């Protein structure tokens, strides 16, 4: 993931997409969107402000699937919903049936008024993978990612 990271908000590398958000008090999205760098804080972290490319995110899913990052047994543990946990969520990954014999495995992020959104996923049984990243609020990327996941789940 050479083109991805948690960078300092005032020292972003060249060619990074800046997020644009509506102010929290602009419920109808009437005013112009604002740059989200002040919203994200001093430096990105696991709760937001990470920068990545679609290629890096998708390659990471492939490396995880092949066992290049952690052992396959650990991957299986990460994809298994814990007792008492959410039905379609393992330990850090969405694990959701999409079509007969097809399961989406992935993770997304973003949120209302954040100016960012993303979802990366793979169809567990086939290995088809995708990533959708956006610099508007999460519902835009989520809707596109859902459609792509359904399309890939129906491919042989």
Does residue 136 have a pLDDT over 90?
A: no
pLDDT: is 58 or 12 the higher one?
58
Query: Coil, strand or helix: which one is 120?
Result: strand
Asked if pLDDT for residue 24 goes beyond 90, the answer is: no
> Quick one: which of 32, 50, 61, 37 has its CA closest to 117?
50
pLDDT tens track for 103-128: 999 999 887 778 888 999 999 999 99
Q: 137 near 114, Cβ under 8 Å?
A: yes
Evaluate whether 49 touches 40 at the Cβ level (below 8 Å).
yes
Q: Is the pLDDT of residue 56 over 90?
A: yes
- Which DSSP category does 89 fall into? B
Give the residue with greater pLDDT, 11 vs 30: 30
Mean of pLDDT values over 61-90: 91
Read off the pLDDT of each residue in 91-97 and give the average, rounded to a whole number.
Answer: 92
Specify the pTM: 0.85
Give tens-digit pLDDT for 36-46.
877 777 887 77
Contact in structure between 125 and 151 (CB atoms under 8 Å): no
Q: Percent of the chain having pLDDT more than 70?
A: 99
């Amino acid at each position: 993931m050479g083109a991805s990271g948690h960078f300092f908000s005032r020292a972003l590398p060249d060619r990074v997409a800046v997020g644009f958000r509506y102010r929290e008090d602009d419920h109808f999205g009437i005013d112009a969107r604002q740059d989200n760098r002040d919203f994200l804080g001093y430096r990105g972290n696991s709760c937001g402000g990470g920068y990545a490319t679609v290629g890096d995110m998708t390659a990471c899913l492939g490396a995880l699937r092949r066992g290049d990052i952690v052992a396959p047994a650990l991957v299986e543990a990460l994809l298994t919903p814990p007792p008492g946990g959410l039905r379609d969520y393992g330990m850090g990954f969405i694990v959701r049936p999409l079509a007969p014999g097809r399961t989406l495995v992935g993770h997304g992020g973003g949120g209302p008024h954040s100016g960012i959104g993303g979802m990366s996923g793979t169809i567990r049984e086939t290995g088809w993978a995708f990533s959708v990243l956006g610099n508007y609020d999460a519902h835009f990327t989520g809707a596109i990612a859902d459609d792509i996941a359904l399309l890939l789940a129906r491919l042989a």
